[in-house]
Amino acid sequence: MSIEQEHLKKEIIKYGSLLIEKGLVTGTGGNISVRLSKNLMMITPSGMAYNQLTPDDLVILDMEGNTVEGSRRPSIEVNMHRAILKARPDINAVIHTHSVYATAIAVTRQDFPPVIDTMAIVFEGAVKTAAYARIGTKELAVNVVEALGKRPAALLANHGAVGVGKSLSEAFDICELLEASAKTYIYANMIGKPIILAEDVIKEGQEDMAARYGQKSGSQYGVKE
């Protein structure tokens, strides 16, 4: 095992624990994967608690789903992770959550409209909801890739959400921002009708943020004020 793989295994375990700590999953829900190379990926095992994982529990597979290293059964959502990584050479990490507020929107099978400026800029507009398919199926994988497109997040109908990034930290930031935005949107619906930001406003905001916000070495997606 290379030093890089050893580091990534520790990172996956760390972010798995953070998913629980931040309330983005419960129990053994959700899953995490990272790209190791053009043809290899690493993913969390099926049905194991994050706080009990060891590096040896993580599974390395090729992009066709064949196990290369590890004795555990990979996450049931391995098809979805493989499909996303294959479709998105610009990203290296995928995190699937069952966070309460994002999932609440997902069960309505509606897209999540851009109602918060930071959300609109980072998610490049609305967050799409993938058409429903059963857990772990290739059909679900296809639907999620379509809903995700080139954006960093998508909802899964009646299921949860997914966030992607160049790194695990970036993907995790996306999942946190999605959940916080979903919470605000749901609360806003309780007191009135949220105003959806227009496409030209979103585009202007993206251009302005790209020119003026943060440091040049900062995260592509991690907009933090």
Which region among 105-114, 171-180, 215-224 has the lowest average model confidence (pLDDT)? 215-224
Tokens of 63: 């992009």
Task: Tell me whether residue 151 is in a domain.
Answer: yes
Domain that holds residue 101: 3-212
Task: Tell me whether residue 182 is in a domain.
Answer: yes
Find out whether 119 and 177 touch, Cβ atoms under 8 Å. yes
| Active-site residue flag, 77 | yes
Task: Tell me whether residue 134 is in a domain.
Answer: yes
Task: Tell me whether residue 221 is in a domain.
Answer: no
| CATH number reported for the structural domain that contains residue 142 in this entry | 3.40.225.10
Task: Tell me whether residue 217 is in a domain.
Answer: no
Q: Measured between alpha carbons, how far is 81 from 183 in angstroms, rounded to an integer? A: 26
Among 4, 11, 69, 77, the active-site one is 77
Q: Measured between alpha carbons, how far is 2 from 23 in angstroms, rounded to an integer? A: 32
Task: Tell me whether residue 220 is in a domain.
Answer: no
Task: Tell me whether residue 159 is in a domain.
Answer: yes
pTM of the model: 0.92
Task: Tell me whether residue 219 is in a domain.
Answer: no
Question: What's the total number of domains in the chain?
Answer: 1
| Model confidence pLDDT, tens digit, residues 49-98 | 999 999 999 999 999 999 999 999 999 999 999 999 999 999 999 999 99
